Homo-oligomer: A and B are copies of this chain.
Amino acid sequence: MSDALQELPPPALPPEIAALLQRLHRLAPLEEADVAQVAALARQAPRETGPRQELRAEGIRGAPLLLLSGWACRIRILPDGRRQIVSFLLPGDIIGRQQPSLAELCSIASLTRLRHVDASPLFVATPEGGLARALHALALQDVAQLRDQVVRLGRQMAHERLASLLLEFEARLGAAGLAGDGRFAMPLTQEVLADALGLSVVHLNRTLQQLRREGLIALKGRVVTLRQTAALRAIADWQPPPQLPD
């Protein structure tokens, strides 16, 4: 990949940046200047972080990052070792957009190897542009996902929680161009899933098997296939986040 090619926004953009552009454009129409601002991220050499690293300790702020590949999470650990994964950070997501006001009890940890670039160029002084609106909509999606997580943990059974989370993964990865037709790679151990869903590993394992036995999902290696999306949605009372068409 030569630098010369990447000077031109539309052609020869790395797929991750192109997917981000698509996604932002669907949230709020971007103008040319906005597109250029996003495309400029492609000029950065991606940085890498190994798996199981703490990206942000509790209450530490840093520059926002655009996650190009790999999965991360916000996690909180109780004094006796219980762990709760609060939210997942997937490729195409922006990490640490909103700096923790002062002390934030959650830390951010990588679950796999990550590739990321500095996202702060997106946030420089665009009071009312399409980009600002799109980034704001992105933040609202994050909050909506948090609310879904609350409902899952508060009032749903184990199999409903799992179905709901898998549907969320499929939708989010689909928006980033990493899932289609109900299939996606999920590089998580069952322990991580359990910590996200508020279940024990053992029970999560049995719940996974239940969904498989019922033909609702399939699981080969780390690839998930949602076999009956409609049934899963009914179980989880989940619906995809609305988007502008095309």
Task: List residues of chain A with CB under 8 Å of any chain B CB.
Answer: 27, 74, 76, 78-79, 82-84, 86-87, 98, 100-106, 127, 136-137, 139-141, 143-144, 146-151, 153-156, 196-198, 237, 239, 241-243
- Candidates B101, B155, B242; contact of A78 at CB < 8 Å: B155
Q: How far is the CA of A154 from the CA of B75 in the complex (A)?
A: 12
Q: How far is the CA of A141 from the CA of B105 in the complex (A)?
A: 12
11 A-B contact pairs sorted by A residue (CB < 8 Å): A76-B151, A78-B151, A82-B155, A84-B154, A86-B150, A98-B143, A100-B140, A105-B148, A127-B127, A146-B150, A150-B153
Chain B residues, CB < 8 A from A106: 147
Copies in the complex: 2
Contact A104 B146 (CB under 8 A): no
Chain B residues, CB < 8 A from A83: 155
Q: How far is the CA of A105 from the CA of B141 in the complex (A)?
A: 12
Q: How far is the CA of A242 from the CA of B105 in the complex (A)?
A: 11
Contact B84 A140 (CB under 8 A): no
Q: How far is the CB of A234 from chain B (nearest CB, A)?
A: 8
Interface secondary structure of A, over-half rule = mixed
Chain B residues, CB < 8 A from A148: 105
Chain B residues, CB < 8 A from A149: 150
Chain B residues, CB < 8 A from A140: 98, 100-101
Task: Given the known inter-chain contacts A74-B147, A143-B98, A147-B86, please indicate yes or no for A154 contacting B198, CB distance below 8 A.
Answer: yes
Q: How far is the CA of A154 from the CA of B74 in the complex (A)?
A: 14
Q: How far is the CA of A135 from the CA of B71 in the complex (A)?
A: 31
Task: Given the known inter-chain contacts A198-B155, A237-B79, please indicate yes or no for A147 contacting B147, CB distance below 8 A.
Answer: no
Contact A147 B101 (CB under 8 A): no
- Candidates B86, B105, B141, B242; contact of A239 at CB < 8 Å: B105
Chain B residues, CB < 8 A from A243: 102
Task: Given the known inter-chain contacts A78-B237, A127-B127, A143-B146, please indicate yes or no for A151 contacting B101, CB distance below 8 A.
Answer: no
Chain B residues, CB < 8 A from A86: 147, 150-151
Which of A102, A143, A151, A154 has the most chain B CB within a 10 Å cutoff?
A154
Q: How far is the CA of A24 from the CA of B155 in the complex (A)?
A: 34
Chain B residues, CB < 8 A from A101: 27, 137, 140-141, 144, 241-242
Q: How far is the CA of A27 from the CA of B150 in the complex (A)?
A: 26
Chain B residues, CB < 8 A from A78: 151, 155-156, 237
